[in-house]
């Protein structure tokens, strides 16, 4: 695993990574944080060292009056700091102290954390530097950008210019933003290609994990807590239609579909290690429109709570891996790769009842029905398939899948599928 700070460089390390990845048909997308930097970033340190005379004083949101008055910037507060009474002031910079970072430290910091000074993208020089960084790495050979907290850059036109300059170098570069809600205004073709599809993740978790949540962990998360509630098949069908219809189909097809991330508890912990929940979720992720994203370690059952516990190191000891989970992930991803309709086909909910739901993916002659049941008893789902009278549903092999095989579609295009409890699978329409 390799981490590269695109603001600081790292050309040799990234070149080796790119060469290895591209040689294997892989693509590399860098994580770009253009809203804030580390306090070790050289322009910030130049201001710390030279004060008001630094040409970079406007690159950040410094207290300009304090700089002019020669007052020091408190970029590295600590326990050694003394209060006015001469006693120990205690740990500083946690964001929990009174006053904003601007008042306490002399500059605006992201979430008031001293280590993360916020960039002033209204400053022409700072703005141009960031856009040059975006261009540099695209020319270097990366295949796209994942952009951190883009909504916090209020500079009008920044992301539009970012897109124009990146796409001018590589029109196929993938530009995806970290936005946690439905955001159609960001995906109209002038800013991002996609966003991280957290609304879909919340819907999948609500359905696949229903009845198995670690409630204290789930409710403690700032985004999932209020939004994830148990839902049945019809409820999930409603959520799916909302998410899939929020954007143009071409946008839906490239949304970054994830189940969890470095900013959320891991899926396996949220469902208290229930493997059936994960199989349902992973099957949905691999058969719905969009670009599936597997957060490292999920494929072997890695657990983790709130940040930073969700960023645990990957276990190199294979005895700690859940090989049954890994086998299912491999099979589901292989199925997606093998069938173009599961990647690029049209999408429709074709049935939902009780804990059951069925969706159809269709591309040219390829037609597939994905059927799932999150309930503890069998679910009978009446599936309506246009232009399919007389066809048969052939169950495709997946580890643990026990769907009935050889079901016949009647003259009206209907077929009843009895989906076993806590399971799912894929049919090919023949």
Q: How far is CA 347 from CA 249, 288, 343, 374, in A?
A: 9, 8, 10, 20
Give the distance from CA 357 to its chain's centroid.
24
Q: Among 178, 214, 298, 339, which one carries the catalytic annotation?
A: 178
Pseudo-torsion of CA 111, 117, 123, 125, nearest 10°? -150
DSSP β-ladder status, 379-384 and 346-353: unpaired
Which tokens is 384 given?
């309506």
Query: How far is Cα 60 from Cα 327, in angstroms, rounded to an integer?
Result: 49
Token pair, residue 369, equals 């029905």
What distance lies between CA 215 and its chain's CA centroid?
22
- Residue 226, number of CB atoms within 10 A of its CB: 10
Half-sphere CA count of 126, side-chain side, radius 13 A: 23
**Distance, CA of 48 to CA of 56 (rounded, Å):** 10
Burial class (CB in 10 A: 0-12, 13-18, 19+), 38: middle
- Exactly one of 63, 97, 122, 148 is catalytic; which is it? 148
Q: What is each CA distance from 40 to 27, 43, 91, 112, 144, in whole angstroms?
A: 29, 9, 20, 16, 25
Instruction: State the Cα–Cα distance between residues 257 and 259, nearest whole angstrom.
Output: 7
Contact 329, 299 (CB under 8 A): yes
Is 327 catalytic? The answer is no
Phi-psi region of 122 (alpha: psi -120 to 50; beta: other; left: phi over 0): alpha
148 belongs to the catalytic site: yes
Q: Which residues contact 55 (CB under 8 A, 6 or more apart)?
A: 46, 125
Distance CA(288)–CA(342), nearest Å, equals 7
Handedness of CA 243, 424, 225, 96 (dihedral sign): negative
What is the pairing mode between strands 174-177 and 423-429?
Answer: unpaired
Phi, psi at residue 423, to the nearest 5°?
Answer: -150, 175
Active site residues: 148, 178
């Amino acid at each position: 695993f390799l981490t590269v700070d695109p603001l600081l460089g790292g050309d040799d390390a990234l070149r080796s990574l790119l060469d290895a990845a591209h040689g294997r048909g892989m693509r590399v997308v860098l994580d770009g944080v253009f809203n804030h930097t580390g306090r070790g970033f050289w322009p910030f340190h130049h201001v710390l060292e030279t004060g008001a005379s630094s040409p970079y004083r406007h690159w950040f949101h410094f207290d300009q009056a304090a700089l002019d008055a020669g007052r020091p910037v408190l970029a590295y507060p600590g326990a050694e700091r003394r209060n006015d009474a001469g006693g120990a002031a205690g740990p500083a910079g946690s964001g929990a102290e009174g006053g904003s970072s601007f008042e306490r430290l002399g500059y605006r910091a992201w979430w008031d954390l001293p280590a993360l000074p916020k960039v002033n993208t209204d400053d022409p020089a700072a703005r141009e530097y960031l856009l040059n960084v975006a261009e540099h790495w695209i020319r270097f050979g990366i295949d796209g950008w994942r952009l951190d907290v883009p909504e916090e850059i209020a500079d009008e036109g920044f992301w539009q210019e970012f897109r124009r300059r990146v796409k001018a170098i590589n029109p196929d570069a993938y530009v995806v933003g970290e936005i946690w809600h439905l955001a159609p205004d960001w995906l109209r073709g002038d800013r991002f290609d996609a966003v991280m599809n957290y609304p879909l993740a919340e819907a999948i978790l609500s359905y696949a994990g229903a009845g198995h949540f670690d409630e204290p962990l789930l409710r403690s998360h700032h985004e999932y807590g209020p939004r994830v509630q148990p839902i049945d098949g019809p409820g999930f069908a409603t959520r799916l239609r909302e998410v899939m219809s929020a954007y143009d189909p071409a946008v839906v097809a490239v949304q970054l579909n994830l189940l969890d991330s470095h900013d959320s508890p891991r899926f396996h912990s949220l469902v208290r290690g229930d493997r059936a929940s994960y199989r349902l979720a992973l099957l949905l992720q691999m058969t719905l429109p969009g670009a599936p994203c597997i957060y490292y370690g999920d494929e072997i059952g890695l657990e983790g709570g709130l940040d930073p516990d969700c960023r645990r190191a990957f276990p190199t000891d294979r005895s700690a891996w859940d090989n049954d989970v890994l086998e299912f992930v491999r099979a589901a991803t292989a199925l997606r790769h093998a069938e173009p309709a599961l990647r690029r086909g049209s999408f429709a909910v074709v049935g939902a009842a009780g804990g059951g739901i069925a969706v159809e993916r269709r591309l040219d002659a390829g037609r597939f029905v994905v059927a799932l049941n999150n309930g503890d008893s069998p679910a009978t789902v009446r599936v309506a398939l246009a232009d399919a009278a007389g066809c048969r549903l052939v169950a495709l092999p997946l580890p643990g899948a026990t769907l009935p095989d050889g079901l016949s579609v009647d003259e009206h295009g209907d077929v009843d599928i009895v989906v076993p409890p806590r399971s799912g699978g894929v049919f090919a329409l023949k």
